[in-house]
Amino acid sequence: MPGPKLDLHTHYYPQVYFDKIRELPSEFAFDKSPSGQTIIKYRWIVGHLGGAVPYLMERMDNGWRDFPECREKIDELPSVYLRRLYYDTVNFNPHMLNMAREMFGADHMVMGSDYPHLLGSIDRAVSSIENLDIPEEEKQRIFAGTALAILNNL
């Protein structure tokens, strides 16, 4: 009898997001400022609250501390760079949305719905943010302010 079928939507995709974000420290994603500081070249919006990234940031930091090869292309802990990225809210779980807010700040969160994907929902995207117990100003930042700041290059 065959084993259970792996659901790619819930198992595979979060790992792909994590792998791609983990690979960002490269010549493509980072550059050096005139003062020699490593900077992010582009403003990245990462889908699905970053997948497994928020849970593994500390582990990536430990790898940077413990393995010299992890420090070859970046000057600071990986979490420093990960906090400079932006994260969409396609998760809808209030606990996870609050965790992302605490880790990255509302100014690094962008409303996402995953619509028209079958798992996507405009209603859930909106209500998941509206129902958070956070200041209205932060909700508006997530709904539109962060995206406008990115698009206006602020």
Q: Where are the domains of the chain?
A: 24-151
Element containing residue 38 per DSSP (H, E) = strand 38-40
pLDDT digits (tens, 9 = 90+) for 99-136: 999 999 999 999 999 888 888 899 999 999 999 999 99
Rounded to an integer, what distance in angstroms lies between the CA atom of residue 54 and that of residue 18? 9
Position with higher pLDDT, 53 vs 87: 87
CB burial of residue 70 (10 Å; 0-12, 13-18, 19+): middle
Count of CB atoms situated within 10 Å of the CB of 23: 10
* Four-residue CA torsion sign, 101, 125, 19, 146: negative
Rounded to an integer, what distance in angstroms lies between the CA atom of residue 51 and that of residue 40? 20
Residue 5 has pLDDT above 60, yes or no: no
For the domain covering 24-151, report its CATH number: 3.20.20.140
**Which residue in the block uniquely carries the two structure tokens 């430990």?**
62
pLDDT digits (tens, 9 = 90+) for 84-104: 889 999 999 999 999 999 999
Rounded to an integer, what distance in angstroms lies between the CA atom of residue 52 and that of residue 17? 8
